[in-house]
Amino acid sequence: MRLFISAVIATGLLMACASSAETVPVKVGTFLQEQARAYGVADGLPSEDVQTIITGPEGPVAVTASGAVRFTGQAWESLGSATVPRYGLAADGDAYTLVTLDSAAEKDLIPVRQVSEGSEAPEAAATEAGLFLRRDNGRYEKTAVEDGQGRYWAVSDVRGVAVDAEGHLWVATLAGAVRRNGGTWEFYTGADGLPYNDFTCMAAGKDGSVWFGTTRGAIRFKDGVWRYRQGRRWLPNDDVRGIAVEENGNAWFATAGGVGCIALEPMTLAEKASRYEKEMDLIKRTPFGYTSEVGLKRPGDKSEILYSDSDNDGLWTAMYGAGECFAYGATKDPGAKVRATQAFEALRFLQKVTQTGDIRPPKGYVARTILPGDGPDPNVGRIEGDIEHREKQDVLWKVYEPRWPKSGDGKWYWKSDTSSDELDGHYFFYPAYYDYVAETEEEKERVREVVRDLTDHLVDHEFNLVDHDGTPTRWAIYNPDSLNQDVHWWAERGLKSLSMLSYLAAAEHVTGDPKYGVASRELIDKHHFHTNAMIYKIHFGPGSGNQSDDEMAFMCYYNLVKYTKDPELRRRIMYSFYSAYLNEEPEMNPLFNFMYAAFGRDASVKNPWGEFTIRPSENCLEDAVETLKDFPLDRVDWGHRNSHRLDLVRLPRQQASEPYEPPRHNRGHRVNGKVLPVSERYFNHWNTDPWALDYGSDGTILGSGAVFLLPYYLGLCHGLIED
């Protein structure tokens, strides 16, 4: 009986839901934004072999293999030769005395790796022989820490000690980290969120932070939260030899590849958005301003940009432009309107350019992207690759020429075989531009024209996007016979049905023409598109399936719930939307969370057994805001390595066939069930797998800030956050 009840609920029968009436926004205010800097020989260091670092009133002092230097705020100035202070423990009766190695013979001494700072006499000493604590008489006694389960920690090979701002002693061991809280000891391992334990040193800050150096990066513990800072985004080298924390919380790192600094800057989300907006000028391609990502001639160096097209320029430009639409709706900033209008004209041109040359698809067709007509011919050598792709990878792949026709004026090549990804982006953008940006009748009519032409093209061609060769494109197939009858399209049935219903709802909203509602009703009554859309993809739990499908589905859910004039359809789709949101909830995706919260804050579902809430989780908005705050300002694709971490749980096998499932050994989540924070991975767009653990890149790509701007402005526009 329970299975039957679940099936009834899942199909949306007898279901009712209500949209949120008034939402209490999350107040963000000012937070501390991390910014990493790296210093090497080119910045004045005498050597990048840095042995230790300390802070003082006149600035950080680093000791390198070729001498010591002080950072003045502008440059590193030489302090001449210097040595790293070294300590030892000398036997003194039944205890030990702490001595400096330059004042005593090293024979018979226990070398000390680190002593705790923050008092006149160090409270503790870390050695290969174990942990030594200072007695009241000033002498040191070896101490083993028992964890209450019969296990002793710090018996040997203690890597670091520090005293935090509240006076708690911390100890770094290969078993994990230990904190003394009053008369008790607290223990942290991977199961408690500790990322890694091959420690090299420790340091504590007056801001409440405790930093751990390791052989593979640095770790910060603050306010009960662990953060892992690894890779070139955060450090010049992962071999951390020393850490020093300034009073303002800025942390300095001595590494095998130079000096690193992670500085903290008070910032609001609006100020952060402004940083990304400015960098978007480096991303935009052609006078129309298409956005995707760009190449860098040298790692991390933004002075020379390498531009190229992508298959999904239309999608990425639409998502960036939609963010600017929400920005103007929320702030009425004239700059946002200029940027949104530029995106509209770029997308509109993708429709208009296809109708200007000798080779023309049916009216309304939109191109994927464009390339300059005076550049290399992108068709040269293309057909051979298409043939190989069809033979080895995709039996439905189209082989035809030209894939890049030329515009009538010869100025542009435009790319054909446009995909469903592009259409999802166009239809997501146009109603947002119509609602929030187009203010005059002339502006609104320009939107109606492109939406009408594109939608009429689809309806007139049996709900397919038909190319200049007279056949549908590879992926933009939505006709009922294909989705419901063709074995090649069963996996696409849910998402394509959802997409087409959302397109028609958006078209009816923008144009005011009820014929699109009639077309939607026909697809529902005769071809069950509403039932198809209840399960937008066949998945096997969180992390399964194609993340691009998730991104497209959420844009379509958002539009369909927002614009459909069919209340019964809206009720059904809200439950499907809820199911999709629950599957994505561990990803802490601000775009997905805000999209669902915009309509689901007070939503419920009715069935014969009662009424049940389908509200988002209590931490939905907080997770979204946490991700926005955690986004690194640096959008360069520095690599991240996480698969060696201790705080991860691998995803279980979800499908038996390798082509449908990436290898599980390199996918997982934190012990709290959430994916890795955005500061510990890299991605260009929200279609990247957030369950992946390692991200291989070398700093030669600059990603778009739209991944931040769209969710931020959407949340702001819907009153979900208050900045």
- The model's pLDDT over 154-212, given as tens digits with 9 standing for 90+, comes to 889 999 999 999 999 999 999 999 999 888 899 999 999 999 999 999 999 999 999 99
- The model's pLDDT over 145-167, given as tens digits with 9 standing for 90+, comes to 888 888 888 889 999 999 999 99
- The model's pLDDT over 321-338, given as tens digits with 9 standing for 90+, comes to 999 999 999 999 999 999
Residue 173 in 3-state DSSP?
strand
- Structural domain containing residue 613: 2-29+304-722
Q: Do residues 20 and 58 both lie within one domain?
A: no
Has residue 714 been placed in a domain? yes
Given 267, 286, 321, the domain boundary residue is: 267
DSSP string of 644-689, one letter each residue: T-SSEEEPPP--S-GGGS--GGGBEEETTSPPPPGGGS--SSTTS-
pLDDT-wise least confident of 285-294, 460-469, 557-566, 603-612: 603-612
pLDDT-wise least confident of 8-12, 203-207, 254-258, 521-525: 8-12
* Cα dist from 519 to 439, 496, 502, whole Å: 29, 15, 12
CA torsion through residues 591, 593, 599, 605, sign: positive
Instruction: Give the pLDDT mean for 684-688.
Output: 94
Has residue 92 been placed in a domain? no
Other Cβ atoms closer than 10 A to 509:
21
pLDDT reported for residue 149: 83
Q: What is the largest CA-CA distance in the chain?
A: 98
pLDDT at residue 637 greater than cutoff 60: yes
Other Cβ atoms closer than 10 A to 64:
22
| Number of separate domains in the chain | 2
**In 437-541, where does DSSP find H-type helix?**
441-460, 480-485, 493-511, 515-527, 529-532
Has residue 115 been placed in a domain? no
Q: Do residues 420 and 517 both lie within one domain?
A: yes
Q: Do residues 421 and 536 both lie within one domain?
A: yes
CATH number at residue 237: 2.40.10.500
| Position 15 confidence tier, pLDDT thresholds 50, 70, 90 | very low
pLDDT reported for residue 150: 83
Q: How is residue 579 written in tokens?
A: 């199911």
The percent of residues in the chain predicted with pLDDT above 70, rounded, is: 94
Q: Do residues 565 and 434 both lie within one domain?
A: yes
In contact, 50 and 255? CB cutoff 8 Å: yes
pLDDT-wise least confident of 19-33, 451-465, 707-721: 19-33
The percent of residues in the chain predicted with pLDDT above 90, rounded, is: 84
Q: Do residues 534 and 588 both lie within one domain?
A: yes
Q: Do residues 22 and 43 both lie within one domain?
A: no
Has residue 289 been placed in a domain? no
Phi-psi region of 252 (alpha: psi -120 to 50; beta: other; left: phi over 0): beta
Has residue 136 been placed in a domain? no
CATH number at residue 308: 1.50.10
- 385 alpha carbon, distance to own chain's centre: 32
Average predicted confidence (pLDDT) for the chain: 92
Q: Do residues 577 and 708 both lie within one domain?
A: yes
pLDDT at residue 700 greater than cutoff 50: yes
- The model's pLDDT over 587-612, given as tens digits with 9 standing for 90+, comes to 999 999 999 999 998 898 888 888 98
pLDDT at residue 6 greater than cutoff 60: no
Is the bond preceding 287 in cis, omega lying within 30 degrees of 0?
A: no
Given 209, 238, 267, the domain boundary residue is: 267
Q: Which of 215, 269, 398, 287 is nearest to 714 (CA)?
A: 269
pLDDT at residue 13 greater than cutoff 80: no
pLDDT reported for residue 654: 67
Has residue 354 been placed in a domain? yes
pLDDT at residue 67 greater than cutoff 70: yes
Q: Do residues 67 and 25 both lie within one domain?
A: no
Four-CA torsion 260, 112, 187, 248, nearest 10 degrees: -30
Instruction: Give the pLDDT mean for 420-433.
Output: 98
Has residue 116 been placed in a domain? no
Has residue 250 been placed in a domain? yes
pLDDT reported for residue 24: 80
pLDDT at residue 3 greater than cutoff 90: no
Given 246, 267, 288, the domain boundary residue is: 267
Q: Would the pTM of this model clear 0.85, i.e. be above it? A: yes
Q: Do residues 528 and 389 both lie within one domain?
A: yes
Q: Do residues 15 and 80 both lie within one domain?
A: no
Q: Do residues 16 and 62 both lie within one domain?
A: no
Q: Do residues 177 and 53 both lie within one domain?
A: yes
- H helix count then E strand count, the chain: 16, 38
- The model's pLDDT over 450-480, given as tens digits with 9 standing for 90+, comes to 999 999 999 999 999 999 999 999 999 999 9
In contact, 593 and 690? CB cutoff 8 Å: no
